[in-house]
């Protein structure tokens, strides 16, 4: 795979002297809720009773590398350096083949050294169920990792509301509750789909579980006046 690898908490695996051999990121298992019915065959499946699927963490992640300078001294030094930075920690992982997204992982470090010409290092562990957009809707846009075929641009920082305003948020992925970061407010409120008003009368960060953004675009109607940012980050399988 040449220089293909991972960026882990801002540092690429080639900076440790590693060359990737293989990568395995499994899909998360679905959380199920099955109710057995006495005296009847089968069971009642309530896994999607809330209207959406829920998932376990991804388990069994595995990234295998060889050390490009495999002397015993270099291998021992690399093992110590990588373990100190990664082993047992929760880290942000960006694969080179999926630069617009990141995974939140907890990884362990292991290695094998059997002779002067071969040295391997393996990262393995778990990850949160979803991968996330690298750039949130209120972040400065990053053009280098942007995919012009599949990427979505959302620019929702510093929105000025003057006597009401409609704002459309481009959807993508699993249902996620956005955050409303209010910096100025004069009776500012957001109206949900069912007409319910949620007040944001003071500067601060607000989350309303009734408002979720998923695969479809969502138009939010604001009343009053003020200034805010909508912080939304798509989550995907």
180 and 125 within one domain: no
Cβ neighbours around 58 below 10 Å, total: 22
211 and 165 within one domain: yes
Model confidence over 70-124: pLDDT tens digits?
A: 788 888 888 999 999 999 999 999 999 998 899 999 999 998 888 777 789 999 9
Task: Give 235's strand partners.
Answer: 132, 173
Q: Which residues contact 43 (CB under 8 A, 6 or more apart)?
A: 34, 35, 36, 37
Q: What is the CATH number of the domain that holds 21?
A: 2.40.30.200
Query: Dihedral, CA atoms, 229, 146, 27, 112, nearest 10 degrees?
Result: -120
For the chain, the 3-state helix, strand and coil shares in percent, each to the nearest 5, are 10, 45, 45
Model confidence over 217-229: pLDDT tens digits?
A: 999 999 999 999 9
pTM of the model: 0.85
179 and 83 within one domain: no
120 and 25 within one domain: yes
Report the alpha-carbon distance of residue 109 to residue 137 in Å, rounded.
Answer: 34
Give the range of the structural domain holding residue 204, as residue numbers without chain letter. 159-236
Q: Do residues 227 and 182 lie in contact, with contact meaning Cβ atoms separated by under 8 Å?
A: yes
The yes-or-no verdict on residue 148 having pLDDT over 70 is: no
The yes-or-no verdict on residue 4 having pLDDT over 80 is: yes
Total number of domains in the chain:
2
Is 152 a domain residue?
no
Task: Give 230's strand partners.
Answer: 180
Report the alpha-carbon distance of residue 45 to residue 34 in Å, rounded.
Answer: 5
SS3 72: helix
125 and 36 within one domain: yes
């Amino acid at each position: 795979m040449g220089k293909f690898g991972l960026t882990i908490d801002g540092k690429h695996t080639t900076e440790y002297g590693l060359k990737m051999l293989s990568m395995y990121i499994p899909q998360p298992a679905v959380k199920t809720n099955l109710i057995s019915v006495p005296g009847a065959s089968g069971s009642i499946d309530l896994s999607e009773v809330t209207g959406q699927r829920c998932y376990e963490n991804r388990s069994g992640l595995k990234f295998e590398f060889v050390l490009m300078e495999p002397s015993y001294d270099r291998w021992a030094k690399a093992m110590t350096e990588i373990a100190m930075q990664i082993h047992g920690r929760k880290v942000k992982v960006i694969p080179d083949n999926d630069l617009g997204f990141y995974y939140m992982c907890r990884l362990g470090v292991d290695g094998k050294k059997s002779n002067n010409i071969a040295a391997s290092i393996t990262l393995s562990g778990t990850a949160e169920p979803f991968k996330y957009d690298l750039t949130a809707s209120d972040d400065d846009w990053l053009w280098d990792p942007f995919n012009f075929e599949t990427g979505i641009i959302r620019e929702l920082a510093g929105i000025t509301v003057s006597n009401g305003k409609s704002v459309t948020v481009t959807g993508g992925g699993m249902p996620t509750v956005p955050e409303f970061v209010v910096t100025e407010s004069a009776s500012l409120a957001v109206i949900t789909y069912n007409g319910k008003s949620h007040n944001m009368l003071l500067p601060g960060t607000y989350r309303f579980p009734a408002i979720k953004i998923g695969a479809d675009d969502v138009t939010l109607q604001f009343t009053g006046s003020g200034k805010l940012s909508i912080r939304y980050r798509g989550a995907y399988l």
